[in-house]
Structure 1
Amino acid sequence: MKLNLRFLALPLVLAALAPVLSAREPAAVSQLPPNARVAIIGDSITEQKQYSRYIEAYLLACLGRQDIKVFQFGWSGETAGGFAQRAINDLAVFNPTVATLCYGMNDGRYVPFADTIGADYEKNMRLVLARLQELGVKNVVVGSPGAVDTKFFARPGATPAQYNDNLAHLRDIDQKLALEAKYAFANVHDNMVSVMAKAKAGLGDDYDVCGRDGVHPNANGQLLMAQSFLKGLGVSGDIGEITVDLKGAGSAIGGHKVLGGKDGTVELESATWPFCFDGNPVGSGSTRSILPYTSFNQDLNRLILKVKNLDAPKAKVTWGTESKEFTKEQLTAGINLPAEFAKTPFDAAFQGLLSALGAKQGYETPMIKGLITNFRNFAEDIKNDAEFAAAISTLKQKMLAKQEKLDAQVRSKLVPVKHTLKVEPVL
């Protein structure tokens, strides 16, 4: 947001606006240095391995950053204090340089907010940030907790409205700590609450955004979480731009290469992919169903088609198996292909990538929860018994080797996709 200099004469107004703006404007600066190692950390919502897969898929395929490594550290039922106790031990196996944090759902204790809840949460989140500093993690995205479903959350201690109010207080603490430490902030809570209201208005109150248990989102809500964290990570959202010139050669930028074509047809090879969605337009288990109510495509998924020298008032665009008509004005300004086309030539490749990521992240959970976290119980043995320490080291290396093999299988899916765009004038 740019402010005219004359507003500098209104310091009180700006001071009042600052918390609101910072709560809704994630850091624009990239939190992803070269060869970034990203730890995605949180409770059972993270352990669902949905928003974490969407983030990893986006970074590798949509951002085209194959130098990035990702590891998810979700733990069911965990609080910020619980992670603080295991952070040094568990994260050391991955040595992250970037971390995203999503706590608060369990820290709120499923009751209305009380000052003691806020004080405990702030204390424990400060411990978490201190542990990350000890490990040398310089880029941190402090995520707020998400939200509970306004219909399906049913706990004896609080109504949905009361618990979302509690989570909003914890959001404010996360924002304060992020600003204080000069970290990025991901406002997961506000994104989920605002989109949930719109989606329920459009699809009915039975459309759950935060899960049928009221807490654990399905694919729709998980997409909103990924959106918030990707914005916190400072990604640009530009997937590329393709130009079709009806009187000349086509062109492309941003990981896309023109292989050939003529007469309004452009054959392309794309090393960066748009984020792809499933086909169900109404179910909560669908990423597509939430799209009319969120700015995901506008914020993060801009693969733009522009058409030059169109002499007709409109044209039919065919991309893969789907065709749609657009006006000359729309095509001159540029249309966002992923937002306009329900089916894309990238869908199969994207689903294959998500499947491979599911296998990799699915191994990371038992690797951490089953073994790595328990090594801290043997600190004295490791320190005093060289043979024992060597055995632990061998076991750790064996697990890392398997995780790296699964990571290699993920990367084998990242092959350029060939596709064709055809523009036909409609008289």
Structure 2
Amino acid sequence: MRSPRYLLAVLIALLPVPAIRADEFALRDGDTVVFLGDSITAAQTYGKIIENYTLLRYPDRKVRFVNAGVGGDTAAGGLKRLERDVLAHKPTVVTVAYGINDIGWGTKADAEHRKAYLDGIRGIVEACKKREVRVYICSAAATAEDPAKSEAGYLQKMCDDGMELSRSLGGHAIDVQRAMRGIQKSIWAANAKVADKAKHDTLHAPDGVHLNDLGQLAMAYAILKGLGASADVSAVTIDADGAKLGAAKGCAVKDLVSREGALEFTRLDEGLPFNYGIFYALSYRYVPVPSELNRYLLTVKSLPKDRYEVTADGRGLGVFTAEQLAGGVDLASATADPWQPGGPWNAQANALKALTDARYEVLSAGAQLRAAVPGAPVTGQLEKQSGEFDTKIVEMQRNVAKPQPYRFVVKKYEPPAKKDGK
């Protein structure tokens, strides 16, 4: 029989997520965020997604990010290296993601290893609280185990205890595993319709524990929601009858005019949509980024019944009916050509991703050199140069992520002329 504590955790996970205002996002101006964990964290992927999301959505907040993941690590190991790898960076926020190595990938799921895990979690939370660091204990990422069975598995129950322990000590908790399991269930449902198992989608590498890119996105999504990331980027409502502005949320609209049958206006957003490459939206079939983290809305009412082309700074976003525009369309990842990024904010996001990847490549090079030849002159020289590079590239990241005024045009769609009478 399940304990009342376990049942309460399940019920909380099943409750609908309340709407969260943008000012409730947990990462604040001036924060230093350290991601502490094992190889899933050391892969850097979910951390970079959170970093890019924060830069795009909250460009007015200067937040610094540090990855402190180590392959094979456990909560006990994280506690041992906490001072050197985490607190030395003077963090204000620490996320902690352990569990799977703590029970030896399931081979050591016993009371002894559960105690070691909880002792490590207690020590990390207490040390962070002592330094006035806001600490978030995350449940372990979901494994490839059948999601209908893993809910009652040892790993989830142990992580439930770790999250409850964090809350009891004044820390925070994010149930990554249950959030990922919900995504995993939708994947399994889709796979059930595909006979060829080689074409099945998954969150995992072949070992069933480490995450592929889709799994890392799912983990980033879970943590962002746990940090209070808002669903809405911005929203504009316009009445085409008289070219009147109805509402502008999260942005400013000016120079709204109707001329030659087209609506035109300039939109300056407070933050930008999150995009991650031309084909990344394919992952949104399973990870609800568009509806939960990335709504960039345009609503145009009172248009005559017809089809309308929407552009931003001359870039095609698509063709929509008057009914669609009246109901509101999400332009975050919209594009008139699936082989090209859509709005200019999409190109900004792509450039930001390249800069963030470059930042971590340089940091990784320094870490490898320190581990191999810690006393060599080249190591010290690279550390100095990489520090200067990091300062500069962070400045570049923030410049690229800064919202720009975009000129939107909504006009009746004219199909391209047919060639050779065809």
**So what's the TM-score if we normalise by structure 2?**
0.78
SS of corresponding position for 1:244: strand
In 1: Cα distance, 2:385 partner to 2:126 partner: 30
Q: 42, 49, 60: which one pairs with 1:54?
A: 49
Say yes or no: does 1:173 pair with 2:172.
no
Q: Does 1:291 align with 2:284?
A: yes
402, 413, 422: which one pairs with 2:400? 413
Partner of 1:334 in structure 2? Answer: 328
Following superposition, the deviation at residue 126 of structure 1 comes to 1.1
Does the C-alpha gap of structure 1 residues 212 and 395 become closer, same or farther in structure 2, counting only changes over 3 Å?
closer
- 1:142 Cα deviation from its structure 2 partner: 1.6
Give the match for residue 325 of structure 1: 320
Q: 1:185 and 2:185 equivalent? A: no
Question: Are 2:243 and 2:256, in contact at CA under 8 Å, matched by a contact in 1?
Answer: no
2:224 to 191, 206, 230: 230
Cross-structure match for 2:115: 119
Identity of aligned residues (%): 23
Whether 1:19 aligns to 2:9 is yes
Q: Which amino acid aligns with 2:203?
A: V
Query: Residue 96 of structure 1 aligns with which residue?
Result: 91
Task: Report how far residue 162 of structure 1 moved.
Answer: 6.9
Whole-Å Cα distance in 1 between the matches of residues 329 and 381 of structure 2? 53
3-state secondary structure, aligned to 1:64: coil
Give 1:309's aligned residue. 302
Mark the runs of 5 or more structure 1 residues left unpaired by the alignment.
Answer: 1-13, 152-158, 281-286, 379-391
Deviation at 1:43, TM superposition (A): 1.3
Task: Mark the CA change 1:78 to 1:259 in structure 2 (over 3 Å): closer, same or farther.
Answer: farther
SS in 2 for 1:321: strand
Query: Secondary structure at the residue paired with 1:199?
Result: helix
Counterpart mapping for 1:32-51 below 5 A: 32-51=27-46
- Structure 1 Cα separation of the partners of residues 206 and 248 of structure 2: 43
Superimposed CA distance per residue, residues 64-90 of structure 1 (whole angstroms, 9 cap, x where no aligned partner): 343222222121221111111111122
| CA deviation after TM superposition for structure 1 residue 161, in Å | 5.9
Q: 1:396 to 1:294 in 2, by over 3 A?
A: closer
- Picking from 125, 128, 134, the partner of 2:130 is 134
1:115 shift after superposition: 2.6
CA contact (8 A) 2:308 2:321 kept: yes
**3-state SS of paired residue (2:143):** coil
Equivalent-residue separation in structure 2 for 1:208 and 1:298 (angstroms): 21
**Contact (CA 8 Å) 2:221, 2:287: kept in 1 or not?**
no
* Structure 1 contact 49–358 (Cα < 8 Å) conserved: no
What CA distance in whole angstroms lies between the structure 1 residues aligned with 2:367 and 2:254?
A: 44
> What corresponds to 2:184 in structure 1?
196
Alpha-carbon contact 1:74-1:365 (below 8 Å) kept: no
Matched residue SS, 2:396? helix
Confirm or deny: 8 A CA contact 2:309 2:319 kept in the other structure. Answer: yes
Question: Residues 304-358 of structure 1: CA distance to partner in whole angstroms, max 9, x if unpaired?
Answer: 212133343x643524323232453x53443322266564212221111011111
Q: What's the offset of the Cα at 1:146?
A: 0.5
- Residue 101 to residue 270, structure 1, CA distance change in 2 (3 Å): same
Question: Secondary structure of 1:131's match?
Answer: helix
Looking at structure 1, the residues matched to 64 and 87 of structure 2 have their Cα atoms a distance apart, in angstroms, of 15
Question: Which residue number corresponds to residue 403 of structure 1?
Answer: 390
Q: When the two structures are aligned, how many residues end up with a matched partner?
A: 382
- For residue 122 of structure 1, report the CA deviation from its aligned partner: 0.9
Q: How far does the alpha carbon of each residue in 1:96-129 deviate from its partner, in whole angstroms, 9 at most, with x for none? A: 1111111112112012532333222111111121
Shift of 1:253: 3.6
Residue in structure 1 matched with residue 417 of structure 2 by the alignment = none
Residue pair 1:305, 1:331 contacting (<8 A) in 2 also: yes
For the structure 1 residues 288 and 192, does the alpha-carbon distance in structure 2 shift closer, same or farther, using more than 3 Å as the test?
same
Q: In the superposition, relative to structure 1, how do residues 87 and 56 fare at CA in structure 2: closer, same or farther (>3 Å)?
A: same
CA distance in structure 2 between the aligned counterparts of 1:58 and 1:160, rounded to whole angstroms: 31
Secondary structure at 1:264 match in 2 = strand
CA contact (8 A) 1:260 1:268 kept: no
Structure 1 position 425, deviation (Å): 6.0
Question: What letter corresponds to residue 146 of structure 1 in structure 2?
Answer: A
**Partners in 2 of 1:315 and 1:170 — Cα distance?**
55
The yes-or-no answer on 1:77 pairing with 2:72 is: yes
Classify 1:150/1:31 alpha carbon distance in 2 versus 1 (closer, same or farther; 3 Å). Answer: same
Give the deviation of 1:145 after TM superposition: 0.7
Which TM-score applies when normalising by structure 1?
0.77
* CA distance in 2 between partners of 1:23 and 1:309 (Å): 41
Correspondence list, 1:242-281, <5 A: 242-246=236-240, 247-250=242-245, 252-258=248-254, 261-262=257-258, 263-270=262-269, 272-280=271-279
Query: What is the SS of the residue equivalent to 2:153?
Result: helix
User: Offset of 1:364 from its aligned partner?
Assistant: 3.6
Secondary structure (helix, strand or coil) at the match of 2:81 reads helix
Shift of 1:63: 2.5
